[in-house]
Amino acid sequence: MATTYDKIASTTLGSASSSITFSSIAATYTDLRVTFVGASTGGANLRLQLNADTGTNYSKTNLYGRGATADSARSTNFGPIYIADDGITSTPHFYAIDLFSYAGSTYKTFLWEGSEDNNGSGSVVRGVGLWRNTAAITSVILYDNGNTFNSGTTATLYGIKAA
Amino acid sequence: MATYTLISSNILSSSAASVTFSAIPATYTDLVLRCSSRDTQASVTDYYLNLNFNGDTATNYSITSIYNFGSAAASDRWTSQTNGYIYQDNSATATANTFANIEIYIPSYTVSQNKPYSSFGAPESNVANLSTRSVSAVAGLWRNTAAITSIVIAPPTSSFVSGSSFYLYGISNA
């Protein structure tokens, strides 16, 4: 039976860093999944950038729960989008992002989940995103503009094959 | 090494107060627990489940959730609990033969750090009841740095019905 769920690459930070990059992603899969689990003593907010595109070609709609409130937020014509609802703390937060038909020639859609509970603060997030670009996705950057992710933060890129 | 591997499964042939996965090997990176379950909690269409790691019953668990409450959205938060919570299982007054689909994702379960987890539950059962929670997501946290070696999932005051199924997978990034 063909393998349908492969690890493409994984990075565990050996020291604090403001970004993790997966590059030279081959077009041999159908979908991609990115997982991230990490902490930040500086309160970094996780953002997603595709093919190093910093233009306002991203949009997203997300649901979030913050304990006392449940709501939705939308950002249109935005730069690389925020996956996080709440800044990452010294408590590890978890995110998973599913990028569909990443090698196709249509605009790229993605879903994500975020688990940001800090025992008294934090959020739960579910979101949908769009990158208005027809190019195949060949790089994924998880980053924060000013803060760093702690040493030990891990991100993994998986490929899922339909064929 | 396969990336996504079945570690263990349990398909109930009779009712059970809980389901336990023990002796979980430390050979994977993440764990995924997929459930198709229903419980006997009386007088409600859906109810939460308790989640316990490594037999820890100290106040080391917390969650933040989002869910529908009938036609509205709501959120709640529970801090310093003696077990984690999963939202939401089908219960006694749900339409017959309906089982909730629940996925629980536990990343980096062997890493020496506090353990976040994520769950998504769908106990949809075609019941027009404004108190139902048909879709719910939970951000959970277990404040313990030990590797997870056992998981217990259980209805708090009832039992899983026969036919409920539970599959524990390991995901490797090695």
Position A86 confidence tier, pLDDT thresholds 50, 70, 90:
confident
pLDDT at B156: 98
**Angstrom distance (rounded) from CA B84 to CA A104:** 40
pLDDT at B1: 58
Buried b (16+ CB within 10 A) or exposed e, A67-91: beebeeeeeeeeebbbbbbbbbbeb
State the best of B29, B30, B64 to mutate against chain A, taking most chain A CBs within 10 Å: B64
In this predicted structure, the answer to whether residue B172 has a pLDDT above a threshold of 80 is yes
- For the domain that residue A119 is a member of, what is the CATH number? 2.60.120
- Name the B residues in 141-170 with CB < 8 Å from any A CB: 141, 143
State the best of B66, B86, B102, B136 to mutate against chain A, taking most chain A CBs within 10 Å: B66
Position B2 confidence tier, pLDDT thresholds 50, 70, 90:
low
In this predicted structure, the answer to whether residue B129 has a pLDDT above a threshold of 80 is no
In this predicted structure, the answer to whether residue A1 has a pLDDT above a threshold of 60 is no
Q: Which domain holds residue A47?
A: 5-160
In this predicted structure, the answer to whether residue A163 has a pLDDT above a threshold of 80 is no
The answer to whether the beta carbons of residues B138 and B81 sit under 8 Å apart is: no
For A126-147, write each residue's pLDDT tens digit. 999 999 999 999 999 999 888 9
In this predicted structure, the answer to whether residue A88 has a pLDDT above a threshold of 60 is yes
Number of domains in chain B: 1
- For the domain that residue B67 is a member of, what is the CATH number? 2.60.120
Position A2 confidence tier, pLDDT thresholds 50, 70, 90:
low
pLDDT at B174: 79
ipTM: 0.93
Cross-chain residue pair A122–B4, CB shorter than 8 Å: no
Q: Which domain holds residue B159?
A: 4-171
**Angstrom distance (rounded) from CA A38 to CA A19:** 12
Position B128 confidence tier, pLDDT thresholds 50, 70, 90:
confident
Q: Is B96 on the interface with A (CB under 8 A)?
A: no
Number of domains in chain A: 1
N residues, chain A? 163
pLDDT at A57: 98
